[in-house]
Amino acid sequence: MSGQEFEEEANTSWSNNGDSDHSSPGNGVSESNQPSPVSTPSSNYPAHSALIPAQPRRIDPQSLILINQLLLAEDMEPLNTPMLLEDGYKVTQSELFALLCRIADELLFRQITWVKKLPFFRDLSIEDYTCLLSSTWQELILLSSLTTYNKQIFGDLADVTSKYLPSEDELHRFSEDSMEVMERLIYLYRKFSQLKISNEEYVCMKTVNFLNQDIQGLSSVSQLEQLNKRYWFVCQEFTECRYAHQHNRFPDLMMCLPEIRYIAGKLVNVPLEQLPLLFKALLHSCRTNLSKE
């Protein structure tokens, strides 16, 4: 992805975003004001205070504002790409491949639109956004497919792939890279199904993953790091408040991100002609596992 289309559209929309102030608040969440999850009661408390039920933590209003800004930037409407077929219709490899390309195009377009709606959009250069999007678009698409568009991808698309019968030659050509990607995606699908990630957690995870200051070619590295930390701690605060009894939930969420990055990197090595079979096998396995639970 060259980023030229994104730069041209972004330069146009930059001047159109001045109608409302979506800039990040100056007093964003920082590491220093985060309460420690392992902190213990002060020794000055009376002994009987341990018998008083602990009051649930409340999310800081500023954190809720940041999360709501991210929710407003996200397009959670169902995908427009048609995925319904007549009963008895047999899908060919080329037809399934074309469908996968159309879905990827729509998902990519939504990510480009999402970037331009981010509350901190005017805080970074177009060059940095182009660099970030060029490096993370596959990860963003994968993350959104596992969450926001889960029902369409693992439901409607799975119905289409079930009507595709690969040839013996395609089965023999299925590579080790394709097999590894499939196995890791199945694991990730199970993990996401267990966690039942909320929309609030999803938009924070997506933003944290996008603001990757380790990507080569960025100019505002320190600013990116600050933004990354802001939404990291906002996500941590939200998760620990909303799911107070799930002590490992936030680490589990964050550990999904490097796995998504790894899988996205491996997908590049999968030959294009193997993608229809990969998705058929993946979606069939995920649907089968879900029906057993």
Whichever domain contains 286, its CATH number is 1.10.565.10
What per-residue confidence (pLDDT) applies to 86?
Answer: 78
**215 neighbors 139 (Cβ within 8 angstroms):** no
* Domain presence at residue 77: no
Q: Which of 60, 117, 102 is nearest to 240 (CA)?
A: 60
pLDDT attached to residue 1: 52
Q: Is residue 18 part of a domain?
A: no
| pLDDT given for residue 43 in this prediction | 40
- Residue 223, SS3 per DSSP: helix
Quick check: is 238 in a domain?
yes
- pLDDT above 70 covers a percentage of the chain that reads 80
Residue 46 in any domain: the answer is no
Residue 255 lies in a domain: yes
In this prediction, residues 158-173 reach a mean pLDDT of 95
Number of domains in the chain: 1
User: 196 lies in a domain?
Assistant: yes
The residue segments making up the domain with residue 144 are 91-293
Note whether residue 33 is domain-resident.
no
Kindly indicate the confidence band of residue 19, based on its pLDDT and cuts at 50, 70 and 90: very low
Find tokens 């590894």 and name the residue. 180
DSSP state of 164: B
* Residue 155 included in any domain: yes
Half-sphere exposure of 135 (CA within 13 A, CB side): 16
Which among 198, 224, 229, 200 is positioned nearest to 212, based on CA atoms? 224
